[in-house]
């Protein structure tokens, strides 16, 4: 059973530097998070990530770029529906490429208090930018959690601080035992059909170049559907 550790740049992610590798088969580091621990298996970053901050792949390590993650994201409906920020992009890539049974997020909470916002200091709160695909981070995490469950994969959060992710919280030692939460299949199917009807797909991944054809109100309605579909499982863990 493949278990993936997905590392972001939240302030607490440095705790992962001293964790044993088990139970994780892959360590996927987003952007600067490759600096947290040297045994990452995959380093993923967008096209505009500064060259001087990029990791150098050694034996058994791989760099993941837009050539890899854009097709993976498209396989799950594309950036407009998935949310155009790297935590979601990385999870969809991992789901598509690694076929895991568990993706455990750490340092991916997209919560930005005053002061230190990232493990390396104060950084840009990319998920909070004005972007039509990011009107509800909670809803985008609900969609990811449900589509992962459809693939037999559990999305979990190893963080116990404030988070915009709605994934269930688990401790590191229980991560490999996580199972997908139930969800409302009728509402999820309704949301997927509506996505198809709207046709907001951009194969290039450069959705911002076509933003004028996307209706924010329609995307908000989709967000509400995904959140409603996720509530069945979330209520069971409350």
Chain segment 156-177, per-residue pLDDT in tens: 999 988 999 999 999 999 999 9
**Domain ranges (residues) in the chain:** 3-237
The pTM is what? 0.91
Chain segment 51-80, per-residue pLDDT in tens: 888 889 999 999 999 999 999 999 999 999
CB 36 within 8 A of CB 7: yes
Q: Is the peptide bond before 138 cis (omega within 30 degrees of 0)?
A: no
CB 155 within 8 A of CB 144: yes
């Amino acid at each position: 059973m493949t278990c993936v550790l997905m590392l972001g740049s939240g302030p607490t992610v440095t705790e992962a530097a001293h964790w044993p590798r088990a139970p994780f088969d892959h360590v996927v580091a987003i952007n600067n998070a490759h600096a947290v621990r040297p045994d990452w298996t995959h380093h993923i970053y967008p096209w505009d990530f500064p060259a001087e901050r990029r990791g150098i792949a050694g034996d058994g390590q791989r760099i993941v770029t837009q050539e890899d993650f854009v097709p993976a994201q498209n396989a799950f409906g594309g950036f407009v529906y998935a949310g155009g920020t790297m935590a979601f992009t990385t999870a969809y890539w991992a789901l598509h490429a690694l076929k895991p049974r568990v993706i455990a997020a750490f340092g991916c909470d997209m919560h930005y208090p005053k002061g230190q916002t990232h493990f390396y200091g104060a950084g840009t709160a990319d998920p909070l930018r004005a972007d039509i695909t990011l009107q509800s981070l909670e809803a985008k995490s609900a969609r990811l959690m449900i589509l992962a469950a459809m693939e037999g994969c559990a999305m979990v959060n190893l963080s116990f601080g404030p988070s915009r992710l709605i994934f269930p919280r688990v401790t590191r030692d229980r991560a490999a035992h996580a199972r997908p939460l139930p969800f409302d299949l009728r509402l999820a199917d309704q949301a997927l059909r509506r996505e198809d009807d709207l046709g907001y797909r951009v194969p290039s991944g450069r959705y911002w170049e076509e933003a004028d054809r996307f209706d924010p109100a329609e995307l908000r309605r989709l967000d509400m559907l995904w959140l409603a579909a996720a509530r069945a499982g979330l209520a069971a863990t409350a």
